[in-house]
Amino acid sequence: MRSTTTVLTAVKRLSRPIAPCSSHNLALNVQRPLRRHASTLIATTTSSTRSRFGLVLSAASFRSSSTPSNTRGYASNPYEGPSDSTRTRAAVGVSSSTSSMSFLSPPHPASSAPSSIPCQPFTLRAGAIFAVTGLGLYFYFQKEKAKIQAHKEQEHATAKIGRPNIGGPFVLTDQEGKSFSDQDMVGKWSLVYFGFTNCPDICPEELDKMGLVVKAISKSHKIDILPIFITCDPARDNVQAVKAYVQDFIPSLVGLTGTYEDIKKCCKAYRVYFSTPPDAKPTDDYLVDHSIFFYLMDPNGKFVDAFGRSMGPVEVENKIGKYLSLWNQTDGKEGWSDMK
């Protein structure tokens, strides 16, 4: 703060006109120490202090430059000391050929006007490119849409074709020794399951589930579904073995058996896989690998749906209930199950 006050005092003294003296040497002797003192203070002053007092010194320089002077820097009167402009230049330590005080003022950023991007006119070429691109995208999406639609139609057609292929004519023997054929299923809703009496766990579980579904449908829809068990092991499952086996489940369960060829034909009609050897004997000990489904057949003897082991009795009951409602709505017309 003290340096600032000293600089201001020196500037004011240099800016003030000096009265005429009788001796030119006296004026020079007075001003030389002041010039040296001001130059030393300005050199040691920080750039921020110089900027702060740049305007004051610039004003002093402007006022001094308005006084006419000769080439030597002295006033017209030989008895006057150096002119104001000379004193100002001496105070700041710059020659007359340079721009005095320029470093004391803060730099002014160059003003740059925002460049504007000229708008390009819409040409015929741009319009043609836009039109071609739009048409290309349109035809591409139309082609993809047609592919998806064709795929859906193919799946629907495959589903329709696959339904009649499950089920078909057969003639077997029930647990009472009577003949039982596919015609005995006409006019009734039926659930058909393929297994064997020596099955340790899966077959009993699935037949129990079938019994629960039959009872639930009978109670909720007042419809009696016919449960049917068909053996895949005719070598060991004769009429007596089947009769003893089905008694452990729902009373209305029908057990069917027959010759190996008859069983094979029936399994093929229902797309059931089984691994019973054709030359197996009743005394042989083996397990039978087979498909684990029971099939829902409508009163026309047509296949409706298949229910796997992963489906619980409640889920199976709900699905069968929907089929029963749809059957009633369509009066059992041909292809009614495809309307779901």
Residue 156 annotated as binding site? no
Please check whether residue 276 lies inside any domain of the structure. yes
Average of per-residue pLDDT across 41-60: 47
Closest by CA position to 104, among listed 168, 153, 59: 59
Closest by CA position to 61, among listed 25, 36, 30, 93: 93
Percent of all residues in the chain with a pLDDT value above 90, rounded to a whole number: 38
Q: Assess whether 91 and 199 both reside in one domain.
A: no
Is the pLDDT reported for residue 95 higher than 50? no
Q: How far is CA 89 from the centre of its chain?
A: 73
**Strands ordered across the beta sheet of 303-308:** 179-181, 171-174, 254-257, 226-231, 190-195, 293-297, 303-308
Please check whether residue 186 lies inside any domain of the structure. yes
Q: Assess whether 79 and 191 both reside in one domain.
A: no
Is the pLDDT reported for residue 262 higher than 90? yes
Residue 82 CB neighbour total at 10 angstroms:
21
Residue 199 annotated as binding site? yes
Under the banding of pLDDT at 50, 70 and 90, the label for residue 223 is very high
Q: Quote the domain boundaries for residue 331.
A: 171-339
Under the banding of pLDDT at 50, 70 and 90, the label for residue 126 is confident
Domain boundary among 47, 69, 98: 98
CATH code for position 289? 3.40.30.10
pLDDT value, residue 39:
55
Q: Determine how β-strand 226-231 pairs with β-strand 303-308.
A: unpaired
pLDDT value, residue 87:
46
pLDDT value, residue 90:
40
Please check whether residue 20 lies inside any domain of the structure. yes
pLDDT value, residue 139:
84
Residue 119 annotated as binding site? no
Average of per-residue pLDDT across 189-197: 95
pLDDT in tens, 156-167: 544 444 455 789
Q: Assess whether 94 and 202 both reside in one domain.
A: no
Q: Assess whether 197 and 328 both reside in one domain.
A: yes
Please check whether residue 158 lies inside any domain of the structure. no
* 187 or 97, which is more confident: 187
Q: What is d(CA 65, CA 52) in angstroms, rounded to the nearest whole number?
A: 22
Amino acid at 211: G
Q: Assess whether 73 and 200 both reside in one domain.
A: no
Q: Assess whether 183 and 89 both reside in one domain.
A: no
Domain boundary among 67, 98, 129: 98
Average of per-residue pLDDT across 293-321: 93
Q: Which residue is associated with the tokens 């007359």?
A: 96
Average of per-residue pLDDT across 56-60: 44
DSSP symbol at 231: E
Per the structure, the count of domains in the chain is 2
Q: Which range scores top for mean pLDDT: 85-99, 122-136, 314-328?
A: 314-328
pLDDT value, residue 227:
97
Is the pLDDT reported for residue 335 higher than 80? no
Q: What is d(CA 181, CA 191) in angstroms, rounded to the nearest whole number?
A: 14
Tokens of 326: 């749809």
Average of per-residue pLDDT across 13-36: 51
Please check whether residue 146 lies inside any domain of the structure. no
Q: What is d(CA 110, CA 142) in angstroms, rounded to the nearest whole number?
A: 58
Please check whether residue 269 lies inside any domain of the structure. yes
Please check whether residue 125 lies inside any domain of the structure. no
pTM over 0.85: no
Q: Assess whether 309 and 208 both reside in one domain.
A: yes
Is the pLDDT reported for residue 16 higher than 80? no
Domain boundary among 98, 122, 156: 98
Average of per-residue pLDDT across 133-150: 82
Q: What string of DSSP letters covers 112-129?
A: -PPPPPPPPP--HHHHHH
Q: Assess whether 182 and 287 both reside in one domain.
A: yes
Under the banding of pLDDT at 50, 70 and 90, the label for residue 63 is very low
